[in-house]
């Protein structure tokens, strides 16, 4: 597949278990050169050759943008997911040659901010690893609030506290520690930008409270890559390529289109970047829109779909692909 | 080997000329006998040897003279170069991009050596040999954007990307076709394109913005734009309108070939890695009618394009005053035969 970004040939240089759910992977370029420079918040799409199936999952780069000898990502194992994280945990080992995309940043720091206030939940810590490293390197003002289920699942919490001391605050669910969000948001200096990455519920909660408390929307940044949700299989006709395909239970519509030999553009594969937006020519049924890209009006219109995360239930669906 | 840099001027006595090689490599912007806006964006990849696309950042025989002209413009008006405080990192990104590309394309003229953050930059045509610390502004005589764009042909707009839009928050703009960085700085994509006629109705800007905000690192894109300029003047800014505007009334049937210049902008778009901004180099190429019509295909086609141009576009591009004189002059070189497909000369 050639329509995402430029590709990088890498070798897995190290695989490091971090805790009972999270494993870190290190990549170096096969030709020994430096990897491309990136900015905090960027992700790469990792291609996984899983038997005769290619999985493409985005993962945030968590190393320091100041050091591009290697890229590092952290993958949380999801035992009931679609299998990408399980493949990473079970089948990826040091020495394996892999292909990843160039970095793409859909969760960039707003460099106008006087202060960067970061809220992370669980594995949502990964983009902040790179962002805090970038800001620390340039004397930027940041503060990180990190919620995790238990201390042992506080991925990189110790490391972050070691690096940044009081700029990092931890909250453990099992100790009933909660972010006093309203107080936190109300006490920030003017010019603060807010960044949130974590489970959808957390992102919605933070965005809602920020809006209620009068934060301008352009100062609130969030990253939520929705993993494609499984669902009932459905059939799709691709008008331009003249193919009819079946989307499997565990397969996304985008993956089914790719498997049929059609090469649609993509960047995030998580419903946020807009690259794979596709026109609907006709349909009889109901869309299950899971994306964050299209407007509510677009969703209602029945004219567009984001095949990376959205599904369909019904009799017929014809797409312009 | 290497480029023979011309000694020439873009003001006063106007000694600017294109050598025969440079006439043939001119980026003629019309691939058919008519012109209308289109989202004519394509991947910015290396093109044929000897063309302006041989390297992704082109350096040509006008390099030294253009850099001298830029220095004159800046001495008179320092506001042609501006960078809002949050754009310094993007300036370093641009410095790296231009040094890398110029050194890669023209090793006989430019050399970049890196030892960690300690960089050495040698620019032989301009007699520069500087060592500095990458990321430390105090080690350069100017900010990083100004430093490198005083040594690179073309204008440079650095765009910040946020809220699904692009913001013109930094730039070096001294060779522009009647627009002003000082006016546009801080504006978003729709604001700075507001004066362009017709294209809004066609939804072109919405599609173009969507494309641009998705530009990826390692995958630059490009497009051509064009207008016309009387006399080979690089600086046709609104600030200096009083100097160049009246020239449009001086075109006569006798001097069309010498005075009227086709002005082509090769615009490219690059994602900057550290800042996640986009840089938009606008490289200006000038060619006078006498030089252009040495290629019969271009002469015939340009006649048809200018003759059939929609009125609003001709007005926007400022051609109204001399358009009939130009069409009359070009018509004598159009024998009515078909033009071959593509941009290049026959």
| pLDDT single digits (tens) A95-128 | 999 999 999 999 999 999 999 999 999 999 999 9
What does the pLDDT look like over B252-265, one tens digit per residue? 999 999 999 999 99
Q: Which of A91-100, A217-226, A300-309, B24-33 has the lowest mean pLDDT?
A: A217-226
Which residues, listed in sequence order, are joined to residue A235 by a DSSP beta bridge? A246
The candidate with the shortest Cα–Cα distance to B316, out of B191, B224, B227, is B227
Q: Could you tell me if A64 lies within 8 Å of chain B, comparing CB atoms?
A: no
The C-alpha of B266 sits at a distance from chain A's nearest C-alpha, in angstroms, of 23
Give the Cα separation of A108 and B277 in Å (integer).
Answer: 10
Give the Cα separation of B234 and B43 in Å (integer).
Answer: 27
Supply the ipTM of this predicted assembly: 0.85
pLDDT score, position B1: 66
* Record: contact B276-A105, CB cut-off 8 A: yes
Q: Are A279 and A252 in contact (CB under 8 A)?
A: no
Closest-CA residue in chain A for B136? A138
Give the Cα separation of A104 and A255 in Å (integer).
Answer: 20
Name the pLDDT band for B198 (thresholds 50, 70, 90).
confident
Mean pLDDT confidence for B274-283? 96
pLDDT score, position B287: 98
pLDDT score, position A1: 37
Mean pLDDT confidence for B185-207? 84
Name the pLDDT band for A267 (thresholds 50, 70, 90).
confident
Q: Which residue among A42, A138, A218 places its CB closest to the CB of B162?
A: A218
Which residues, listed in sequence order, are joined to residue B198 by a DSSP beta bridge? none
pLDDT score, position B197: 77
Closest-CA residue in chain A for B219? A6
A94-105 b/e with 16+ CB inside 10 Å = b? eeeebbbbbbbb
Place of tokens 């909250």: A171
What does the pLDDT look like over B137-161, one tens digit per residue? 999 999 999 999 999 999 999 999 9
Neighbour-count burial of A20, counting CB atoms closer than 10 A to its CB (0-12 exposed, 13-18 middle, 19+ buried): exposed
* pTM summary value: 0.90
- Is the model's pLDDT at A2 over the cut of 50? no
CB atoms within 10 A of CB B331: 14
Q: How far is CA B101 from CA A123, A124, B64, B152, in A?
A: 38, 37, 17, 11
* Record: contact A5-B219, CB cut-off 8 A: yes
pLDDT score, position B40: 77
> B6 catalytic, yes or no?
no
Best residue in A68, A110, A111 for a mutation probing chain B (most B CBs within 10 Å): A111
Mean pLDDT confidence for A282-299? 92
CB atoms within 10 A of CB A321: 22
DSSP 3-state of B304? helix
Q: Which residue among A38, A111, A267 places its CB closest to the CB of B89?
A: A111
Q: Residues of chain A with pLDDT > 70: what percent?
A: 98
Mean pLDDT confidence for B71-93? 97
Task: Give kind and range of the element (H or E) at residue B110.
Answer: strand B110-115
Rg of chain B, C-alpha, whole Å: 20
Q: Count contacts between A and B (CB, < 8 Å).
A: 57
Cβ neighbours of B275 in A, within 8 Å: 39, 111
Query: Of B17, B24, B162, B223, which one is the catalytic site residue?
Result: B223
Six token digits for residue A105: 């940043």
pLDDT score, position B61: 98
| Percent helix / strand / coil, chain B, rounded to 5 | 35, 20, 45
Average pLDDT, chain A: 93
Contacts of residue A204, defined as CB under 8 A and 6 or more positions apart, other chains included, come to none
What does the pLDDT look like over A194-221, one tens digit per residue? 999 999 999 999 999 999 999 999 999 9
Mean pLDDT confidence for B31-55? 88
Q: Could you tell me if A268 lies within 8 Å of chain B, comparing CB atoms?
A: no
Give the Cα separation of A215 and A224 in Å (integer).
Answer: 20
Which residues, listed in sequence order, are joined to residue B159 by a DSSP beta bridge? B168, B278
Name the pLDDT band for B45 (thresholds 50, 70, 90).
very high
Q: How far is CA A61 from CA A75, B125, B206, B252, B277, in A?
A: 11, 41, 30, 62, 18
pLDDT score, position A4: 59
Cβ neighbours of B87 in A, within 8 Å: 111
pLDDT score, position B41: 81
Give the Cα separation of B294 and B307 in Å (integer).
Answer: 20
Q: Are A104 and A42 in contact (CB under 8 A)?
A: yes
DSSP 3-state of B34? coil
Q: Are B88 and B143 in contact (CB under 8 A)?
A: yes
- Is the model's pLDDT at B48 over the cut of 70? yes
Q: Which residue among A36, A39, A112 places its CB closest to the CB of B276?
A: A39
What does the pLDDT look like over B97-119, one tens digit per residue? 999 999 999 999 999 999 989 99
Region class of B34: left (phi > 0), else alpha (psi between -120 and 50), else beta: beta
What does the pLDDT look like over A163-189, one tens digit per residue? 999 999 999 999 999 999 999 999 999
Please list the alpha-helical segments (H only) found in chain A. 84-91, 126-137, 157-164, 181-186, 200-212, 253-259, 296-301
pLDDT score, position A275: 86
pLDDT score, position A315: 93
**Starting from the edge strand earliest in sequence, which strands make up the sheet with A115-121, in order?**
A168-172, A142-148, A115-121, A192-197, A220-223
Mean pLDDT confidence for A9-20? 97
Give the Cα separation of B180 and B176 in Å (integer).
Answer: 8
Give the Cα separation of B278 and B224 in Å (integer).
Answer: 18
Name the pLDDT band for A43 (thresholds 50, 70, 90).
very high
* E strand segments, chain A: 7-17, 22-29, 42-50, 53-60, 71-76, 97-101, 104-105, 115-121, 142-148, 168-172, 192-197, 220-223, 234-238, 243-247, 278-288, 304-305, 311-319
Q: Which DSSP symbol is given to B3?
A: -
DSSP 3-state of B311? helix
What does the pLDDT look like over A224-243, one tens digit per residue? 867 788 899 999 999 999 99
CB atoms within 10 A of CB A239: 13
DSSP 3-state of B82? strand
């Amino acid at each position: 597949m050639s329509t995402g970004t430029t590709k990088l040939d890498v070798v897995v240089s190290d695989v490091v278990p971090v805790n009972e759910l999270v494993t870190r992977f290190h990549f170096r370029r096969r030709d020994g050169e430096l990897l491309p420079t990136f900015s905090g918040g960027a992700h790469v799409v990792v291609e996984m050759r899983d038997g005769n199936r290619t999985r493409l999952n985005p993962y945030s780069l968590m190393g320091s943008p100041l050091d591009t000898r290697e890229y590092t990502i952290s993958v949380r194992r999801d035992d009931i997911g679609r299998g990408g994280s399980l493949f990473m945990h079970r089948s990826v080992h040091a020495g394996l040659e892999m292909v990843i995309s160039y970095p793409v940043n859909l969760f960039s720091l707003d460099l106008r901010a006087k202060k960067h206030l970061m809220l992370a939940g669980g594995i949502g810590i990964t983009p902040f690893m790179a962002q805090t490293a970038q800001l620390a390197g340039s004397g930027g003002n940041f503060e990180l609030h990190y919620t995790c289920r238990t201390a042992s699942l506080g991925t990189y919490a110790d490391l972050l506290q070691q690096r940044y001391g009081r700029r990092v605050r931890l909250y453990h669910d099992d100790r009933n520690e909660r972010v006093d969000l309203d107080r936190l948001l109300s006490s920030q200096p003017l010019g603060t930008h807010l960044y949130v990455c974590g489970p959808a519920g957390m992102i919605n909660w933070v965005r809602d409270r920020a809006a209620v408390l009068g934060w301008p929307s352009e100062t609130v940044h969030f990253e939520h890559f929705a993993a494609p949700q499984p669902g009932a299989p459905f059939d799709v006709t691709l008008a331009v390529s003249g193919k009819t395909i079946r989307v499997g239970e565990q397969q996304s519509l985008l993956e089914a289109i790719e498997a049929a030999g059609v090469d649609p553009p993509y960047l995030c594969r998580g419903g946020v970047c807009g690259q794979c937006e596709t026109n609907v020519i006709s349909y009889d049924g109901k869309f299950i829109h899971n994306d964050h890209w299209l407007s509510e009006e677009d969703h209602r219109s029945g004219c567009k779909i984001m095949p990376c995360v959205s599904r369909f239930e019904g009799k017929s669906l014809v797409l312009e692909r | 080997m290497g480029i023979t840099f011309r000694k020439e001027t873009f003001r006063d006595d106007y000694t600017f000329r294109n050598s025969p090689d440079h006439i043939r490599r001119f980026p003629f912007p019309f691939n058919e006998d008519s012109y209308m806006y289109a989202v004519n964006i394509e991947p910015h990849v290396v093109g044929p040897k000897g063309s302006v696309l041989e390297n992704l950042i082109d350096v040509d025989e006008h390099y030294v003279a253009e850099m001298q002209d830029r220095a004159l413009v800046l001495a008179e008006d320092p506001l042609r170069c501006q960078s809002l405080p949050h754009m310094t990192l993007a300036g370093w990104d641009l410095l790296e991009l231009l040094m890398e590309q110029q050194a890669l394309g023209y090793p006989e003229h430019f050399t970049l050596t890196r030892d960690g953050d300690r960089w050495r930059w040698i620019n032989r045509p301009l007699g520069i040999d500087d060592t500095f610390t990458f990321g430390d502004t105090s080690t350069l005589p100017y900010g990083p954007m100004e430093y490198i764009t005083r040594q690179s042909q073309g204008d440079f707009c650095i765009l910040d990307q946020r809220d699904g839009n692009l913001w013109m928050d930094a730039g070096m703009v001294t060779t522009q076709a009647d627009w002003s960085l000082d006016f546009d700085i801080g504006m978003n994509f729709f604001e700075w394109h507001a004066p362009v006629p017709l294209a809004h109705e066609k939804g072109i800007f919405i599609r173009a913005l969507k494309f641009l905000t998705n530009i990826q690192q390692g995958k630059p894109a490009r497009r051509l734009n064009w207008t016309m300029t009387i006399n080979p003047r690089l600086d046709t800014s609104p600030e200096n309108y009083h100097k160049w505007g009246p020239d449009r009334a001086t075109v006569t049937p006798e001097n069309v070939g010498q005075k009227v210049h086709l002005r082509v902008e090769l615009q490219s778009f690059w994602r900057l890695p550290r800042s996640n901004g986009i840089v938009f180099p606008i490289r200006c190429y000038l060619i006078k009618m006498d030089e252009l019509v040495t290629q019969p295909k271009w002469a015939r086609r340009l006649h048809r394009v200018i003759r059939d141009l929609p009125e609003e576009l001709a007005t926007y591009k400022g051609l109204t005053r001399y358009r009939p004189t130009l069409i009359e002059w070009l018509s004598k070189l159009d024998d009515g035969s078909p033009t071959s497909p593509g941009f290049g000369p026959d």
